[in-house]
Structure 1
Amino acid sequence: MALDGLFLNRIIQKLSAQTPLKIQRIYHVSENELVFIVRNHDAKLQLLLSAHSVHNRLQFSNQNFVYPQEPSNYVMLLRKHLEDGLILSIQQIGLDRVVEFKIQKRNELGDLHQYRLMIELMGKYANVVFVDDQDRVIDALKRIPPYENTKRTIHPGAVYNYPEQSDRKNPFTSVYDPTLSLMDQFHGFSPLLAREVDHRLKQGETFESIMNQIEHSELCFVSDEKASDYHCIELSHLNQSFTEYPLMEGLDHVYQALEEKERIKQHSGDLIKFINRELKKAKQKRPKLLEAMDDALDCEKWRSYGDYLYAYGMQVPKGLKSFETKDFETDEIIHIPLDDKYDGKQNAQRYYQKYNKGKKGQVHITHQLELNQNEIDYFTSLSEQIELASVNDAIEIREELVREGYLKQRHAPKRKKEVKLNIIQLHFGDARIYVGKNNLQNEQITFKIGQKKDLWFHASAYHGSHVLLQNSEDKDLIEIAASFAAYYSKARGSAKVEVQMVQVKDLKKIPDAKPGMVNISNYSTLMIEPNEADLIQIIKDHQVK
């Protein structure tokens, strides 16, 4: 569901209650999203402004955002004019999806400047427009020049005008007319909310009581079946189960997974497309290698053809396209193809060359088939990892591909401290569980963190996570560790998953293998039924930040 004016009204009430807010830092997390790090009298907050064509919204967020190393030109402009400034007020224009930030800041000389930041949350036209105290556009996240829209130009130097508003009533203060549709007579209604209010009216509720619930709601009701169905009142007409969240937490729940892949693309150069392309290339190469191997294995035939042609070479002049003779052992007729440009002995020499090439080729092609299978396994594992990756995980996968020589380094590497990998670390008293979600994390867990007597887990016969359990052999913790190994693998959707458990001392790194590849011995197996909701709750309760 796109954010409607009435839900936005509840968000604005929450945001404006925190003003004034001091702007400490401004970042962009994707080409359509800005994050303002702000502080009020007692807390630091992340204020997200999204101008995405589908997921546009405005909220306080608790997501762990990853910021690009190089800010965009628009962010640099906002930093210059707005950082260390104060957001004095946040207000909605009527019940439209347009929000105004009034901001003031002193310049280097101590002069006070007033600015407005206009957040327009209108689908594909969503925008964040920076305006001065003379109503002139300083710049915008998405510029709209005159040749694109003659009625409303959003371009540096243009006069800022509010989006055109329709002549409709405020549902909080106006009387409901049952002869007209809700969307025709009131501001702020989306089709989804209008259907819910119509349903409740038919159930005997009054329009005033429904609007009172909306006006004072502090919650976000999210459908358990389709997260994009949400609102500040329960959508009972859908006949679905709903989960209640605090308003801002509900928005994080709805949008975090939806936007993650776009952020991965923004930060990591469309890894998914690259990995899938390399996997397809490796798979297409395999049939050609197998065909070449069949030819190479057939090389004894070429040697025997050469022998026959040398034996009967005097009977084979130039110009023949084939030669027939009897098999030395079975007396069966053998048909030998010839190149008519050569005589019998010359054709024999060509068959001997083909035989020698095939003999040597068997060794070479066997090696190539092994390398090709390793490539297929490697990119299959990366393909599975990227499906479950966060932005941090994706950045690490890209770094791995740079190290392995598949991608080029975007910039000359700067000398800096080694970045800590985004490993899930869980504490249960003295016990520790480490969960890797990509090959670099798996390598770190298995060969650097793991001690000889620690327990190590991996989904059997699947690419997936390396999970380590330290300082415990408790049955419940073993089951939790095995559940993470099952969940972060290709088998996560299976009813039951076989998981291998082994002590770290029985693991060996495969020489010259890709990152994350190990040989194991002396392992036992467990049958696990991974439950996503339980694992998410365990992470919330026990993760070390």
Structure 2
Amino acid sequence: MPFDGVFTNSIVKELSEFVEGKIDKVYQPSKDEIILIVKKDRKNIKLLLSANPSFPRVHITYSSMENPKAPPNFCMALRKHILGGIIKSVSQVNFDRIIQFEIEGLTELGDAMQYKLICEIMGKHSNILLLNNENTIVDCIKHIGHNMNRYREIMPGADYVMPPVKGKINTLSVQKENIKSMLNKNVDITIESFFTSNFLGISKAFAKQICYPYESKKISELNNQQTEDIVSNFFHYLAKIKNGDYQYIIYYNHSLMADYYVFPLQEYNMLKPEYYSSPSKLLDTFYYHKDVKNTLKQKYKDLFKIVSNYQDRNNKKQQIYIDKINEYKNYEQWKIYADVLMANQYSIKHSSDNVKLENFYDGSIINIPLDSDLTIIENAQSYYKRYAKEKSSLEVISNQLEEAKHDEDYIKSILFNLKNASDVDTIEDIRNELIDSGIIKKKKIKNKKQKSEPYHFISEDGFDIYVGKNNYQNDYLTLKFAISSDIWMHTKNIPGSHVIIKSKKGQISDEALKEGAMLAAYFSQAQSSSNIPVDYTIKKNVKKPNGAKPGMVIYYTNKTIYVTPDEKAIKNMTLSK
């Protein structure tokens, strides 16, 4: 996901429209995100500054975020120094992934003070810093001491030091004569590496586009015409960047968003592009669901850890059971040994630790080990006991293995529901389910009402379609909510949600069936696959075995429909409030 210097440049150009805007409110919804409400010309915009290590970015957002009851320290520092301040400029530093806001704020005495709010968008090293007019760090969202970074200390009171550029130059300042000279000094590297290692703000994706179709060739392997074409292409894009001639594109792989950029990319010519009117709308669309899921995952990481540990223990148990089954699978030989010994007890001279006798079951000669301290009858009885013990153990262990496999299917459904949860209430339902299942050791809260509700879609021709968000909801929809003539749907042998299509006078339209199957495939572990098998049958053919885990059912006389999930089509479906 190339949030590189080029994309940063497009964001800065968009945000420059809000110069002279007033910072009206400051929030910190999470440990590494800041929201600034900027007011200009009687309009409010919500500006997101994120130092999230997975999704760092800066853009206007249209999404709502829950704020903590008590603002964190960095939020308090921003409110103290720049709340009510005026944004005097927005700029990009050295064409790198650094955005600088110059803000005119107030000191504690009410005097004007110039501040800089710096956003460094650099993966796990991302940070947001507030500097005073002497370039001293007032505070930052992540404190980095010398023990963590020898090059620069990022702490309140320290002088601000720019991130290292590693010998790279500002892309916007390069001249044609300079680039040809630089090419002659780097003949042993690929042309793609030349651009990424010498120029600030150029990602691999953009470098490939500049060099296409020669990106993997070494500079020494290029002829003069190829080199000239690449240099011309570079300055062609440079002119577009300087003029702000961008296209804001999300690339879709089937129904899933794969990547984004501000120029069409040859490497994605097999993917489906979708165009947006601004870089902020693109980023808000691309990161919304990823951000929600990531925030929930961080907030409820204890649940993920508990379920993952339970899954690991279950896998180890299954392996132990399989090893024991392999050890006991030949248990019948002990009965054969005992029977043969008993049949020959009077003819055997017990003077060694084994005896060779004919197996009267198949006529073969078998070698039977003996315990010299026991009589022949006692040896036979020992084999009978071993036979009975291993036979009994094999039955018990086989049942335990079957139960562990059912647990494996169940825990996969729990993990699927956790990873796809989009709100706090759904995760709390899953927590309660884990308590009921005994996976979490905690006293059950009596009469605790289920908070979240299943998804409710309406098909194009007016049929109600319901989708469970967790196993409790799956059980409710299938066993209590649906009537016998409703259609029940689920992906075949794949963890996912139960889907119920409400019938009208016992009838379901083909369009509703198709949309229901699309929803069942989308809300399943196979969401990113194609031609997903979805089983469906009338509800009366679906039963829940006694003692089965939540969400686990059996069904019969079903049919199967194959669909490929389309995220855009899902979003266009009517979701009832």
Q: Decide: shared fold, TM above 0.5.
A: yes
Task: Measure how far apart 1:127 and its partner are.
Answer: 1.5
Task: Measure how far apart 1:466 and its partner are.
Answer: 0.8
Q: Is the 8 A contact 1:23 1:87 kept in 2?
A: no
Moved more, 186-195 or 337-346: 186-195
Q: Residue in 1 aligned with 2:501?
A: 469
Secondary structure at 1:365 match in 2: helix
Mapped partners of 2:258, 2:518: distance in 1: 28
Task: Measure how far apart 1:362 and its partner are.
Answer: 4.7
Q: Residue in 1 aligned with 2:554?
A: 519
Task: Measure how far apart 1:87 and its partner are.
Answer: 5.9
Q: Residue in 2 aligned with 1:22?
A: 24
Q: Is the 8 A contact 2:252 2:258 kept in 1?
A: no
Cα–Cα, structure 1 residues 87 and 458, in superposed 2: closer, same or farther, change >3 Å? farther
Q: Is the 8 A contact 1:99 1:119 kept in 2?
A: yes
Mapped partners of 1:236, 1:330: distance in 2: 71
| TM-score between the two structures when normalised by the length of structure 2 | 0.72
Q: Is the 8 A contact 2:26 2:75 kept in 1?
A: no
Give the residue type in structure 2 aligned to 1:244. Answer: Y
Cα–Cα, structure 1 residues 295 and 215, in superposed 2: closer, same or farther, change >3 Å? same
Task: Measure how far apart 1:106 and its partner are.
Answer: 9.7
Q: Residue in 2 aligned with 1:8?
A: 8
Query: Is 1:294 paired with 2:329?
Result: yes
Task: Measure how far apart 1:297 and its partner are.
Answer: 5.2
Query: Is 1:233 paired with 2:263?
Result: yes
Q: Residue in 1 aligned with 2:458?
A: 427
Moved more, 461-470 or 430-439: 430-439
Q: Is the 8 A contact 1:49 1:57 kept in 2?
A: yes
Q: Residue in 2 aligned with 1:349?
A: 381
Task: Measure how far apart 1:245 and its partner are.
Answer: 1.8
Q: Residue in 1 aligned with 2:128?
A: 128
Q: Residue in 2 aligned with 1:404?
A: 437
Mapped partners of 2:561, 2:296: distance in 1: 33
Give the residue type in structure 2 aligned to 1:221. Answer: I
CA distances 1:395-441 after superposition (whole Å, capped 9, x unpaired): 765664454333557xx999997563474321348532122354344
Moved more, 505-514 or 157-166: 157-166
Query: Is 1:179 paired with 2:180?
Result: no
Give the residue type in structure 2 aligned to 1:178. Answer: K
Q: Residue in 2 aligned with 1:49?
A: 50
Q: Residue in 2 aligned with 1:502?
A: 537
Task: Measure how far apart 1:154 and its partner are.
Answer: 1.0
CA distances 1:4-47 after superposition (whole Å, capped 9, x unpaired): 3342232134345454343353122xx6x414274745557362
Q: Is the 8 A contact 1:498 1:525 kept in 2?
A: no
Mapped partners of 1:198, 1:362: distance in 2: 64
Q: Residue in 2 aligned with 1:156?
A: 156
CA distances 1:110-130 after superposition (whole Å, capped 9, x unpaired): 999986542112455321224
Query: Is 1:360 paired with 2:392?
Result: yes
CA distances 1:180-208 after superposition (whole Å, capped 9, x unpaired): 33979987555654665688x95989969
Query: Is 1:528 paired with 2:529?
Result: no
Give the residue type in structure 2 aligned to 1:146. Answer: H
Cα–Cα, structure 1 residues 106 and 505, in superposed 2: closer, same or farther, change >3 Å? farther
CA distances 1:47-77 after superposition (whole Å, capped 9, x unpaired): 241342x74321234567688x899xxx721
Gaps of 5+ in 2: 181-194, 213-227
Give matches, 1:111-260, under 5 Å.
116-131=116-131, 135-149=135-149, 152-163=152-163, 171=172, 177-181=175-179, 190=203, 192-193=205-206, 202=229, 211=239, 215-217=243-245, 219-224=247-252, 230-235=260-265, 242-246=273-277, 247-255=279-287
Q: Is the 8 A contact 1:38 1:45 kept in 2?
A: yes
Mapped partners of 2:148, 2:495: distance in 1: 50
Cα–Cα, structure 1 residues 169 and 305, in superposed 2: closer, same or farther, change >3 Å? closer
Q: Is the 8 A contact 1:224 1:240 kept in 2?
A: no
Q: Residue in 2 aligned with 1:34?
A: 33
Give the residue type in structure 2 aligned to 1:92. Answer: S
Give the residue type in structure 2 aligned to 1:285. Answer: I
Q: Residue in 1 aligned with 2:515?
A: 480
Q: Is the 8 A contact 1:137 1:160 kept in 2?
A: yes
Cα–Cα, structure 1 residues 462 and 5, in superposed 2: closer, same or farther, change >3 Å? closer
Give the residue type in structure 2 aligned to 1:357. Answer: K
CA distances 1:463-496 after superposition (whole Å, capped 9, x unpaired): 4321111254222011110222234445667764
Give the residue type in structure 1 aligned to 2:261. Answer: H
Task: Measure how far apart 1:264 and its partner are.
Answer: 6.3
Q: Is the 8 A contact 2:104 2:112 kept in 1?
A: no
Secondary structure at 1:181 match in 2: helix
Query: Is 1:376 paired with 2:408?
Result: yes
Give the residue type in structure 1 aligned to 2:250. Answer: V
Gaps of 5+ in 1: none
- The share of aligned pairs that are identical, in percent, is 24
Mapped partners of 1:181, 1:114: distance in 2: 38
Give matches, 1:260-275, under 5 Å.
266-269=298-301, 270-271=304-305, 274=309
Q: Is the 8 A contact 1:275 1:382 kept in 2?
A: no
Task: Measure how far apart 1:308 and its partner are.
Answer: 4.2
Q: Is the 8 A contact 1:464 1:490 kept in 2?
A: yes
Secondary structure at 2:176 match in 1: coil
